[in-house]
Structure formats: C-alpha cells, structure tokens
Amino acid sequence: MNKYQYLASPITFRGMTVKNRVFLPPMKTNYIYENHKMSDEIIEYYGKMARGGIGLVTTEAAEVDGDHLYDSTILGIFDDSQIEGFKKLADSLHQYGTKLSVQLIQGGPFANSQINGGRMPLSSSPIAHVWNPLETPIEMTHEDIKHYINKYAAAAKRAQIAGCDAIEIHCAHGHALLGSFLSPLVNHRTDEYGGDINGRARFLIEVVETIRETVGQDFPISVRLSADEREEGGNDVYDTCYIARLLEKASVDYIHFSNGTLYDVGTLLPPTGTPKALNTIYTDIIKKAVKIPIGCVGRIKEPWVADMLIEQGRLDIAYIGRALICDPEFVKKSFENNFDDIRPCVGCLTCLATSAAGIFMHCTMNPAVANQKLADIKEAPIKKNVVVIGGGPAGIEAATTAAKRGHKVTLLEKFNILGGQFIIASYPPVKQELSLGLKYLIHELKKTDVDVRLNTEATIETIKALNPDEIILATGGQVKMPAWIAESVHPNVISAWDIFKGKKHPGLNVAIIGGGSVGCEVADFMSDHHNYRAIGGRKITIIEMQDNIDSTDYTANRDFLMTRISHKPITVVTSAKVSSITESSISYIKDANEETLNGIDTIVVAMGTDPNNALAEELEVLNIPIHIIGDAKQPRKIMTAIEEGRETAINL
Ligand SMILES: Cc1cc2nc3c(=O)[nH]c(=O)nc-3n(C[C@H](O)[C@H](O)[C@H](O)COP(=O)(O)OP(=O)(O)OC[C@H]3O[C@@H](n4cnc5c(N)ncnc54)[C@H](O)[C@@H]3O)c2cc1C
Ligand SMILES: Cc1cc2nc3c(=O)[nH]c(=O)nc-3n(C[C@H](O)[C@H](O)[C@H](O)COP(=O)(O)O)c2cc1C
Ligand code: SF4
C-alpha cells in the first residue's frame, strides 16, 4: 500500500482536478530550436515525468514578449504559431492524466538588447539588472504597462487554446518584469505603480484581472512569488502575506512560493547542505493569511517530507524540482514504496550551471536529461564478454548498463570498496549528500548479475585470463604531484586525497598548493570544527596561481564554500607561484616579490588530477577493443564519468 496518502490525494481548482499533490516547478531546459517553439525533446522530457505519475507539470518559463526575449533559448508563447507545440505537450501529458500549467514571463531588465535587435530592456525603474549590468532599462510608462498587461493576457489565452490546464504568472525573485515591479529593491517609482505595497503590486493584480477576463471563470490561474526576499529593504514574509491576500481577492487559485532574489541565488537555488523544505519557515506564516491552496519549492526531495507537510496542513502542494530532473519516476517509485530505486538528487547544481550557460540542461546523476538517447537501454543484439576495469562512477555505470543489455560483465576494482573518487567527493563539509548518489549506483549494480571482483588490480595477465570481447577502462584519476614537490626536503608533503581518506594527518600550520575546488574543500575540511578543535584553530594558507580560487564553479555551492572559508582561519594568496620549499617553509612569487611562510609543518598538494590510463597502452597487444572513459580519459566530473559509462555500454 502507498504510504504517502496525503501526497497522493487529489486537489481541485475551478474544475481542474489534479490527481496528486506533486507539482513540477518551472525549470529551464534549453531544449529550444526554431522560433522559440516547443521541441520534441521537451515533450519527451516532461512526458517521462507524466509516465512517472506526476500530478501537474509547470513548463519552464515561457516568454510572452517576442520583442524583448528573456534569452536566446527561452520557450515562447508570444506568437500564435507557438500554440501547436503547447497543444502537443498538453495532449501528451493528458494521456497519463497529468495536468499542464504554463509559466508566463517577460524578462524585464534581464532581456539583453543584443539578442533583441537593439531594443533596450524594460523595467519599473531605470536600475540595471545584476545579470545584465551594462544596460539601464527603460522606465515603463502607463501606456507600456497597459500594452504588456495585454501581452500576458494574450499569452494566457494561447495556453488555454492549446488545451493547457492552467497558467502560472512569474512574479518572484525581484526578477523579470513583474518581479521588478513587486520588489522594493528594484521599484523606485512614485506613481500609482510604485511606492507602497499596493502600488508595487498593482501591475501584477491588473495582469491577473485582465487574464481572468480573457480566459473566463473556468481556467485556473496561479502566481509564483518569493515568500521572503531575504534582503534588507526587500519584501519580507509579512509583505508577501498581504500580496497573497490581494491575489486571492483577484481570483488567483493557488500560489507557488520560492524565496530570495536573483541577486543572491544561495537559497533561491539551494545547494547541498542547505535545509530541506527550506521555504516552509515562511509558508507556515503565509498559510494562515489566505484560504486558497499554497505550495512551495526548495529541497523537498523525500516523499515522506512532502507527505508530512501536507498531512500537517502546512502545504497543499509539494513542488519538487531537481529531484524530478534526477528521476522522472520519483512519484511512481514513491507511491509503490520503492524509495531505494529513486535516483537521488545530490544538490550539485550542475543542472543550473548548464541551464544558465544556455546549453542543454545536464544532470550529474541522470545522463538522459541532456541526451535522451541515453534513456534507452535496449537488449544487445550480440551478447559479449565485457570486462570493466575500475569501480568508480564511470565503471559502475558502464557495468550496470552493459549487464542490463544482456552482456556478461566482470568489474575489477583494486580497492576493497567501490566508488573511486566519488567516495571522497562526499567528505568535505556539507557534501555528505553526494554519498546518496554513490549508494544508488551501487544499488543498481547489485540488481544485475555483474561479477564484481574487489581487491583485484587489473593487469595484462588478469585481463588475458578473462578473455574479454571488449574492455572498458575506467581507472579514473590520480593525484597530480610534481616530483620536485614530492621529493622536496619537507618532511610532511601530503595530498588532499590522503587527508580526506584519513591516511595522513595535517599539523597545525598548513600550506595548500592549489586553490581549485579540491584545495578549497580540503581547507574547509581541515579547519572544520568537527575535524579539529583548538583555540585559534588550525592555521591554513591556500596558495593559488590564478587570480581567484575555485573559479570554475558558478553555482551557489561556491558562494557557500567561500563564505565558510572567509569565516575560518584560512588565508588565501592568489596570483602566486610556489618557488621553493625547505624543511619548514614554503616560498612563492607574487607581484615579482618572493614571500616566505615559515613554520609550515604540512604541505598539502591540491594541484589537480592526472588521468590514470597507462594500462591501456599495455593492453593494446591483446588486440581487444578498449574504451577509455571518465577521468581515465580526462579528469573531469562525476557527471561525465556516469555519462560516458552509460553511453559506452549502450553502444557495445
Ligand atoms: C576531493 C574531491 C572532490 C570532488 N568533488 C566532486 C564534486 O563535487 N562533483 C563532481 O562532479 N566531481 C567531483 N570530484 C571528481 C569526481 O569524483 C571524479 O571526476 C569521478 O569520480 C571520476 O570517476 P571515474 O569513475 O572516472 O574515476 P574514479 O572515481 O577515479 O574511479 C576509478 C576507479 O578505478 C580503480 N582502479 C584504478 N586502476 C585500477 C586497476 N588497474 N584495476 C582495478 N581498479 C583500478 C580505482 O581504485 C578507482 O576505484 C571530486 C574529486 C575529489 C578528489
Ligand atoms: C535548471 C533550473 C532551471 C530553472 N528555471 C526556472 C524557470 O524557468 N523559472 C522559474 O521560476 N524558476 C526556475 N528555476 C527554479 C526552480 O523552479 C526551483 O525553484 C528550484 O529548482 C528549487 O526547487 P528544488 O529544490 O525542488 O529543485 C530553475 C531551477 C533550475 C535548477
Ligand atoms: S544536476 Fe545535481 S542538483 Fe541538478 S538535479 Fe541533477 S543531481 Fe540534482
């Protein structure tokens, strides 16, 4: 029996009955091609969630204004030619009893003129957007406002004509056009559309009223709001209670809450380590202010959390975002009590980083998100004897997929446990959630009949004895350790990996060479109070050649890591190159001057990863096809390891 009866219960808005309380929030995929039309990939992407049992899908943001596109890969609902695509999507979801709501957006100050034929962005006030900082937007006139109210209404009508079931108006995060009117952080007007909260909400309310007149009484309207903007001078939760009441009066049927602003995405797009269901601290207050149903997003990842929130009357709807990207069958598996089969979201925000970069959205745990062909694990026409070398994420995924296709698979791992670097990737503070990802990969592997041989180092002899038809080399990476550092006179030169593994122990005055993600994470780890307690803590200096540390991570994970580092006894030296090492000191050149840190008892090397693939060359004499994947090919990420494992095994 389904344990989650509250989550599974239906909910009705103006005659639209949604079969359960799991709603997908809008999440931009970038699966857009010609004229911002719906693509087959989007239909298939949401279709998987419908087949997986979700109650309602909210589309990614759809642009209402073809003259000021939000960005070049935005879905469009600004032209009648786009109706057909929405109809296809609605028909496809309806087959499975899933409802469809369309999120409506106009980019406001975000809409860059370079992709809009030189037309400057629009806003409540002439204040540049943080993500479009060089363009002061045009302050809208009353005529402009009227014009855009009609654009929202026309877009809503298109959704209705297409057979969609509802719309969601984006008015959150102090962002896009309506958000820029609602938020006092951006709206500095003194006319009827600014000043007090009634003025700032006026545009939104007029949009709702005009949409209602246009779509009639039977079509549900929802609005997305930030429950609290979490910034000084922004809308707080009590402002939002008031706005929610205005919306209720204006015939809005349900409200979807997130939080924050686009100026600080830390809790708006909460990474690993942030609290579960983090918006309920606000929605608990808002729930008492309105009678219409409400829901919220924000790290609701487990069915028991969602079910409990609804049982307790704290929410009516659970918006579940990234957990559904990871596993579109989240609902079905939850309701069938197969929780261990759910591919877990590890909170890494690769989805956001790729979506924001304008490429197809990728997911670390689910390779089929960016490449739908990888969802299709078909039986192999010819069954082969496959040997996979290395039990990190690449090797595990390759072995599992190959076995699912009917191949005979042997997986060799030289250590006594599976996981490779994925194990230590979950050791730094707040990253424990990554271990869920590894646990899931192993769980899936165990369902197959792969012959897993631990404590078995692959050599040319072991491989010869197994007589494979194909070899997958997933031997991963190894610490990059320049000989002159390893062989220096300093008595305690150790790698970041060894510290995470507990193999070597740092002293009290540590220099880390390399301030990439691993260098920063090991500094965070060594100075963590769970790891070391002493007055003043452990003194750590990170020496980095580049002009910034951890500079390739654009997500909130980095923001949180940098905040922790700045609160700990960690000194960061950038644009500095290590020049020499003695028994107790390390020197570096910065700005053409040599500086020396004395009394250094430990040197930690975090200079990156080298591929570990020398075996490939040795194995060539066997004349058996070899596929090198994951970090063994080139050190990168868990995402590429899993992706290449799946893809290689699908093509065997
Ligand atoms: C501290 C740290 C933090 C990280 N954090 C993240 C993160 O947050 N996000 C992210 O995406 N990535 C992260 N990474 C990188 C990520 O873990 C790797 O990119 C990923 O694990 C590579 O997977 P792989 O399977 O290719 O190789 P590996 O994980 O290196 O696995 C290779 C396996 O092969 C085995 N092996 C090697 N030679 C042989 C042999 N001859 N015979 C048998 N077995 C052999 C090894 O023992 C190992 O188990 C992190 C890495 C580190 C070190
Ligand atoms: C890749 C990605 C794209 C997103 N695109 C949108 C969007 O188009 N419109 C929007 O209002 N929110 C967008 N969001 C925010 C999500 O709707 C949601 O608030 C966020 O993912 C937190 O919910 P979760 O913890 O359940 O994932 C996006 C989030 C992600 C990760
Ligand atoms: S990319 Fe990372 S955060 Fe995004 S859905 Fe996948 S696992 Fe979750």
Q: 616-636: per-residue pLDDT in tens?
A: 999 999 999 999 999 999 999
Name the token pair of 133. 């900082």
CATH code for the domain in which residue 512 is found: 3.50.50.60
Per-residue model confidence (pLDDT) at position 533: 61
558 shares a domain with 442: no
**One domain for residues 473 and 489:** no
Q: Is residue 323 lining ligand 3, measured as CB closer than 6 Å? A: no
The phi and psi torsions of 102 (rounded to 5 degrees) equal -110, 125
What's the pLDDT at 65? 96
Question: Based on the domain organization, do 418 and 300 belong to the same domain?
Answer: no
Q: For residue range 221-259, list pLDDT tens digits in order.
A: 999 999 999 999 999 999 999 999 999 999 999 999 999
Please give the single-letter amino acid code of residue 199.
G
Residue 531, pLDDT score: 64
Whether 266 has a pLDDT exceeding 80, the answer reads: no
Ligand 2 atom nearest to 61, measured from its CA: 8
The answer to whether the CB of 557 is under 6 A from ligand 3 is no
Q: How far is the CA of 140 from the centre of ligand 3 (A)?
A: 38
Number of H helices, E strands in the chain: 22, 29
In a domain, 346, yes or no: no
Domain of 34, CATH number, reads: 3.20.20.70
Q: 350 in a domain, yes or no?
A: no
Residue 535, pLDDT > 70, answer: no
Confidence of residue 534 (pLDDT cuts 50, 70, 90): low
Token digits for 113? Answer: 């003129």
Identify whether residues 304 and 207 lie together within a single domain.
yes
Question: What angle in degrees, to the nearest 10, is found between the helix axes of 142-161 and 83-94?
Answer: 40
Percent residues over pLDDT 70 in the chain = 99
Residues 329 and 245 in one domain: yes
Task: Please give the DSSP secondary-structure letter assigned to residue 132.
Answer: B
Residue 466: give the domain boundaries: 377-478+617-650
Asked, for residue 352, whether it belongs to a domain, the answer is no
Residues 389 and 471 in one domain: yes
Q: Which residue's CA lies nearest to atom 3 of ligand 2? A: 27
Cβ contact 626:518 at 8 Å:
no
371-397 average pLDDT score? 96
Q: What is the pLDDT of residue 358?
A: 86
Q: Is 392 in the pocket of ligand 1 (CB under 6 A)?
A: yes
Checking if the pLDDT of 552 tops 90, the result is no
- Cβ(322) to ligand 3 under 6 A? yes
Say if residue 545 is in the same domain as residue 627. Answer: no
Residues 465 and 513 grouped into a single domain: no
201 C-alpha vs ligand 3 centroid, how far in Å? 34
Instruction: Round the average pLDDT of the chain to a whole number and report it.
Output: 95
- DSSP-derived secondary structure letter, 261: B
**At residue 60, does pLDDT exceed 80?**
yes
Ligand nearest the Cα of residue 362 is 3
390 and 511 both lie in a single domain: no
6 in any annotated domain: no
**Ligand 1 pocket check for 424: Cβ under 6 Å:** yes
Give the per-residue pLDDT at 536: 62
pLDDT at residue 268 tops 90: no
The one-letter amino acid at 431 = K
List the one residue out of 263, 235, 94, 242 whose CA is nearest residue 162. Answer: 94
Strand-pairing partners, residue 604, are 494, 512
Asked if the structure places residue 601 within a domain, the reply is yes
Q: What is the pLDDT of residue 370?
A: 93
Counted residue by residue, the chain has a size of 652
Task: Kindly state the average pLDDT of the residues 490-517.
Answer: 94
Does some domain include residue 624?
Answer: yes
Q: Residue 53 C-alpha to ligand 2 middle, in angstroms? A: 20
Q: What is the mean pLDDT of residues 483-489?
A: 93
**HSE-up of residue 455 (Cα within 13 Å, Cβ side):** 1
Name, in order, each residue with C-beta under 8 angstroms of 276's C-beta and a sequence gap of 6 or more: 299, 300, 301, 302, 305
Q: Could you tell me which of 327, 43, 34, 65 has the C-alpha nearest to residue 176? A: 65
Give me the pLDDT at residue 190, please.
96
Per-residue pLDDT at 273 exceeds 90: no
Instruction: Check residue 530 and give its pLDDT.
Output: 66
The pLDDT assigned to 267 comes to 76
Task: Say if residue 262 is in the same domain as residue 113.
Answer: yes
Percent of the chain at pLDDT > 90 equals 90
DSSP assignment letter at 373: G
Instruction: Please identify which residue in the block is written with the tokens 């039990």.
Output: 391
82-86, 150-154, 529-533: which has the minimum mean pLDDT? 529-533
**Per-residue confidence (pLDDT) for residue 640, from 0 to 100:** 97
374 alpha carbon – ligand 1 mean position (Å): 22
pLDDT at 357: 87
pLDDT band at 586 (very low <50, low <70, confident <90, very high): very high
In this prediction, residue 283 has a pLDDT band, given cuts at 50, 70 and 90, of very high
Q: Which of 213, 215, 214, 184 is nearest to 198 (CA)?
A: 184
Given a cut of 90, is residue 19 above it in pLDDT? Answer: yes
- How many structural domains comprise the chain? 3
The CATH number that applies at residue 469 is 3.40.50.720
Asked if residue 337 and residue 288 are part of one domain, the reply reads yes
Q: Residue 527: its pLDDT value, please?
A: 87
Q: Is residue 348 one of the residues assigned to a domain?
A: no
Residues 70-113: pLDDT tens digits? 999 999 999 999 999 999 999 999 999 999 999 999 999 999 99
Residue 372, domain member (yes or no): no
Average pLDDT of the segment spanning 276-283: 96
Q: Is 519 in the pocket of ligand 1 (CB under 6 A)?
A: no
Residues 198 and 217 in one domain: yes
- The one-letter code for the residue type at 10 is P
Average pLDDT over residues 512-534: 86
